[in-house]
A and B are shown apart, each in its own frame.
Chain A
């Protein structure tokens, strides 16, 4: 039974919530409302006056082949980032989980990348993969791979995916490790006695029991790829070459700030916002479906 503590004071809860509410209001709700308002307006070319145009901006955006190309690109990008961030994380977590000693040490080491700002990570990758001076680029060239992310769109995409994914590996690793350590060892022992080898145990016991964690991480990583990768893209490719890495969040920024079409940029932002709200809702809906031991 859970007991509720009841405070008679009516305004204390609001007072306690006020700072958090204030921050949310100033930095999230207010700009969001502005974006929504902006998305219904069209400015004249000098930015002197604006007219209310209802859903015109949305119509223009959704009819734009360039926008639809960015949607497809974003889908590829987020799936690739999620995969590139989840698979190595799971592998590392399984390896650390198997260790009897040094778990704390490796956990700390593997979490460090998460402390690095996305833009810094981007510059790091840019440097490593720079065709003329980068260590990795040189190795690739030596191995006979024609590597040039500045000219080749696919190379550029691979580069931003790696740059965006690598710090998420830390985050995913932590969750996978916690998930693995929550699986009672006796289940794996029972499976071993039932005749299951290592791979069968992983496939039939570990993966299913880990699935709530995996689901949570997939949504988190997709949301991350949608929104939090601006810094990486900006530092590494600026959306190029020839828009090959221009994902939605980058395009919204580009169209608004560089091309100064505020109405269309705002409409794009609002669409992105709706997508993220939907993804988060799905995640909250399913997060409580935990496995019970």
Chain B
């Protein structure tokens, strides 16, 4: 059990700075998800915690000990790789036992731990097989098992589910959450999938271009996105982001429609970016938002409606599954004032 401290961490590859100063403290037993688009530096940050990449600036501490100069093998961490990185010439048993043997554990204890993990992951019938004779889901579980048996201070996951099909991914997501809660091991989990992040995380770090845009619980990140980037990245379908003029306690849309802001907000006149989640735009005959429906996506539980304001601005609304809307309809919508988000159009930060 351990805390993880990431303090002003930077990483340069040659002249290219890919991590530009990230701070985050992960509590003992917490699962922190690093979420961001491909190439934003998630893996690089995780690999610095693992000790696989030298740290260019700042410090990483595990259990209060600064580990910048500590070899991966001495950090007592376990990592699940995106491609699983199973040893192809070893059986499932040997794959899981590898780290324990190196640590010189007694044979009986190794066998006990491997069997217990195999039981838990339903791998018991496959212990003698080679990785190439397993399905993708089974390989993924072997990789998990190899991490579990070590009983490490910290688990590191680098997109462990991205090579699985959608159904298996959902299933394993639940499995990982259950295991992690039960074992209570501090975990850092990298993904580009916001659903995975929302369901797994105790806290999410939303990353963009080598910076942490926001660190917060899934509920916070959803309800109060700290920037336009976070607002657009979290939630599916994504939040509507519309340039508006603010003044007199309301936001004025490009077509002139006025949306009331929460009491006290939007007094001084200024330009802003208005964020409204599609699920907060609901039909209301008296609603200020008037759009023409372009396209209707019936998803069963929900109906996603794509529409245009008079000026051409595109908006998405997420209506109940039984909403009777057709392309070409005129639709009047309203959003509750407390569901509106305002961002500075220059910096992208929340106002």
Contacts and interface: CB of A to CB of B under 8 A. Distances in A.
Contacts of A195: 73, 99, 102-103
Interface in B50-72: 50-52, 71-72
A197 B103 CA distance: 11
B83 A292 contact: no
Interface stretch (B85-93, B173-181, B326-334): B85-93
B290 interface: no
Nearest to A293: B88
Interface stretch (A56-64, A76-84, A158-166, A185-193): A185-193
B78 A186 contact: no
Nearest to A186: B85
Interface in B92-134: 98-99, 102-103, 132
A184 to B, nearest CB: 7
Contact of A192 (B73, B86, B89, B132): B73
Contact of A197 (B73, B78, B79, B81): B73
Contact of B88 (A191, A193, A204, A291): A291
Given A192-B71, A194-B102, A195-B73, A187 B79 contact: no
Contact of B146 (A186, A187, A189, A194): A194
Contact of A184 (B73, B77, B83): B83
B192 interface: no
B150 interface: yes
A205 interface: yes
Nearest to A188: B85
A200 B89 contact: no
A252 interface: no
A66 interface: no
Contacts of B52: 189, 192-193
30 contacts: A184-B85, A186-B83, A187-B87, A187-B88, A189-B50, A189-B52, A189-B85, A190-B81, A190-B85, A192-B73, A193-B51, A193-B72, A193-B75, A193-B78, A194-B78, A194-B98, A194-B99, A194-B102, A194-B146, A194-B150, A195-B99, A195-B103, A196-B102, A197-B73, A205-B87, A291-B88, A291-B89, A292-B88, A292-B132, A293-B88
Given A193-B51, A292-B88, 17 more contacts: A184-B85, A186-B81, A190-B81, A190-B87, A192-B52, A193-B75, A193-B79, A193-B99, A194-B78, A195-B102, A195-B103, A197-B73, A205-B87, A209-B88, A209-B89, A291-B88, A293-B88
Which 5 residue pairs spanning A and B have beta carbons closest together? Answer: A194-B99, A186-B85, A190-B85, A195-B102, A195-B73
